[in-house]
């Protein structure tokens, strides 16, 4: 049973990232030359896996709650699982949004730095 569950989790995790799995490597030498792209790739994969795990625990907690059949200890255990999964999912969404915010902030700083360093020669224009 555990092997089947492990295989199902493995298939589900890798089916969540079809863009990464089916994407062709255009230049293998320059694959991770840029640090930002490597960090974004790794965090994107981690966020996908974390979201899958959180949703898995939400579904598991819901099934446990339905199968509790009025047993207060099983209902309490299922409620605890649901609460933990929802809190974890909320933290994951918050962390992902902070990550996106900081990436956009870094890109904006680079854009403004490049814009300020640009030499515009307006005097000789007709």
Give tens-digit pLDDT for 5-59: 777 777 766 666 555 555 555 555 555 556 677 777 788 888 888 999 999 999 9
Kindly state whether residue 7 falls inside one of the protein's structural domains: no
Kindly state whether residue 102 falls inside one of the protein's structural domains: yes
Kindly state whether residue 95 falls inside one of the protein's structural domains: yes
Q: Which residues have a Cβ under 8 Å from the Cβ of 47 and sit 6 or more positions away?
A: 92, 95, 96, 99
pLDDT at res. 34: 67
Kindly state whether residue 94 falls inside one of the protein's structural domains: yes
Boundaries of domain holding 76: 41-115
Whole-angstrom distance, CA of residue 124 vs CA of residue 80: 72
* Domains of the chain: total: 1
pTM of the prediction? Answer: 0.60
Kindly state whether residue 125 falls inside one of the protein's structural domains: no
């Amino acid at each position: 049973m555990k092997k089947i569950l492990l295989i199902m989790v493995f298939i589900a995790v890798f089916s969540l990232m079809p863009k990464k799995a089916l994407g062709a490597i255009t230049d293998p030498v320059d694959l991770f030359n840029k640090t930002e792209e490597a960090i974004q790739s790794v965090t994107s994969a981690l966020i996908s896996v974390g979201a899958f795990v959180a949703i898995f625990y939400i579904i598991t907690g819901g099934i446990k709650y339905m199968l509790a059949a009025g047993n207060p200890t099983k209902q309490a255990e299922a409620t605890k699982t649901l609460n933990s999964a929802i809190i974890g999912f909320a933290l994951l969404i918050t962390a992902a949004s902070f990550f996106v915010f900081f990436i956009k902030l870094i890109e904006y700083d680079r854009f403004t730095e490049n814009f300020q360093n640009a030499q515009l020669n307006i005097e000789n224009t007709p």
